[in-house]
Amino acid sequence: MDEWMNYIAAENVIGTFAAAAAGVFIIYFMTRLLKKSLGRYVKDHNNWYRTRKAANVFGFVLVVIFLAVLYSDMLGGITVVLSVASAGIAFSLREVIASIAGWLTVLVGGMFSTGDRVQLGGVTGDVIDIGVLRTTIMETGDWVEADLYNGRIVKIANSFVFTAPVYNYSTDFPFLWDEIKIPVKFGSDYTFMRQLLYDAAEEASGGYTEETKEYWYSMVRKFYIENAATDPMVTLQVNDNWVEYTIRYVVHYKARRSTKDRLFTNILERIEEHPDKTSLASATFELVSAPPVNIKVDNK
């Protein structure tokens, strides 16, 4: 204890700590003033988000440089103390260290960025912020169907990138393959129905075909992946109750629900225009045979 007291007196630890606290506060105040000043000139939401994050990183770097210069004469003693406590520090802060490493992995590796729709740790939604320790997501789905926001904001530790898969809906290919099934009665005009569904799919997909081909061509050049058809596809299969058509089409990852609504509406309108050629099927039951029934009428 006496040695520690002599060390503190000799190195003026208290005065240095006070200077460090004052310097950190001044840098923090300057960073906030810088962001407030830049906010008057940057009006676009995306640019303002990036500007704010850059100012925060700039302030953090200034703090690190300031503390390194301030404690440069004491680094030898601090190194001795940290070397003794390094094992305990590493164990107690293992999640924090893993989260910081995950943050660097996300930034350098380009796994996702703000605005991307991702699935992280079982949570699906849009990335609204990437912090040093946590990624913030506006959640979609759960008790809300399709891809609509449910109102919950979820914060996930960045360490998940080392322990769980990362699903990105929008980075290199911002489109998804979706499909619906249409049951049709036996005896319908099957060729006419196939063409009807194909035309409805092309109209409802909103002209994504050419755009998806360009994106997919870039994917093929970037990754070892085979070429895939992005045009609408209609296939048919038969079961015990009806003829079932499956429509497979490409849709933007944010337009699945609206596209499916347009597609169903278009199909119903087209089918009702030609009731003599086709009609939708529903679950039906055919009574093949029945046991004899004896009825006795008692006239009194």
Q: Is residue 291 part of a domain?
A: no
pLDDT attached to residue 277: 87
Residue 151 and residue 82 share a domain: no
Q: Residue count of the chain, please give it.
A: 300
Residue 246 reports pLDDT greater than 90: yes
Residue 245 and residue 157 share a domain: no
pLDDT attached to residue 213: 81
Identify which of 129, 104, 158, 105 has the alpha carbon closest to the alpha carbon of residue 50.
129
Q: What is the DSSP string of 228-280?
A: ---S-EEEEEE-SS-EEEEEEEEEETT-HHHHHHHHHHHHHHHHHH-TTT--B
Residue 117 and residue 69 share a domain: no
Residue numbers of the domain that contains 126: 109-168
Residue 195 and residue 143 share a domain: no
Query: Among 7-21, 230-244, 250-264, which stretch is predicted with the lowest mean pLDDT?
Result: 7-21
How many Å apart are CA 248 and CA 224, to the nearest integer? 24
Identify which of 127, 178, 117 has the alpha carbon closest to the alpha carbon of residue 156.
127
pLDDT attached to residue 236: 92
Three-state DSSP at 135 gives strand
Q: Is residue 295 part of a domain?
A: no
> What CATH number does residue 143 fall under?
2.30.30.60
Query: Among 36-50, 73-87, 130-144, 152-166, which stretch is predicted with the lowest mean pLDDT?
Result: 73-87
How many Å apart are CA 227 and CA 172, to the nearest integer? 15
pLDDT attached to residue 288: 64
Residue 124 and residue 45 share a domain: no
Q: Are strands 166-168 and 117-120 parallel, antiparallel or unpaired?
A: antiparallel
Share of the chain above pLDDT 70, in %: 78
CB 192 within 8 A of CB 243: no
pLDDT attached to residue 44: 64
Residue 205 and residue 257 share a domain: yes
How many domains does the structure of the chain reveal? 3
| Better-predicted residue by pLDDT, 35 or 46 | 35
| pLDDT-based confidence at residue 245 (cuts at 50, 70, 90) | very high
Residue 67 and residue 11 share a domain: yes
Residue 199 and residue 115 share a domain: no
Query: Among 99-103, 138-142, 143-147, which stretch is predicted with the lowest mean pLDDT?
Result: 143-147
Q: List the beta strands (DSSP E) in the chain.
A: 117-120, 123-130, 134-140, 149-157, 166-168, 175-184, 233-238, 243-252
Query: Among 52-66, 100-114, 129-143, which stretch is predicted with the lowest mean pLDDT?
Result: 52-66
Sequence-ordered alpha helix ranges (H) in 12-44: 13-38
Residue 182 and residue 164 share a domain: no
Question: CA separation (Å) from 63 to 26, 28, 70, 99, 133?
Answer: 10, 9, 10, 20, 18
Residue 24 and residue 52 share a domain: yes
| pLDDT-based confidence at residue 10 (cuts at 50, 70, 90) | very low
Q: Are strands 166-168 and 123-130 parallel, antiparallel or unpaired?
A: unpaired
Residue 179 and residue 260 share a domain: yes
CA end-to-end span of the chain: 116
> What CATH number does residue 253 fall under?
3.30.70.100
Q: What is the mean pLDDT of residues 166-170?
A: 87
Q: What is the mean pLDDT of residues 125-151?
A: 84
CB 48 within 8 A of CB 40: no
pLDDT digits (tens, 9 = 90+) for 269-280: 888 888 888 888
Residue 197 and residue 227 share a domain: yes
pLDDT attached to residue 103: 85
pLDDT attached to residue 122: 83
Q: Is residue 279 part of a domain?
A: no
Residue 22 reports pLDDT greater than 60: yes
Q: Is residue 300 part of a domain?
A: no
pLDDT digits (tens, 9 = 90+) for 83-107: 655 666 566 667 788 888 888 888 8
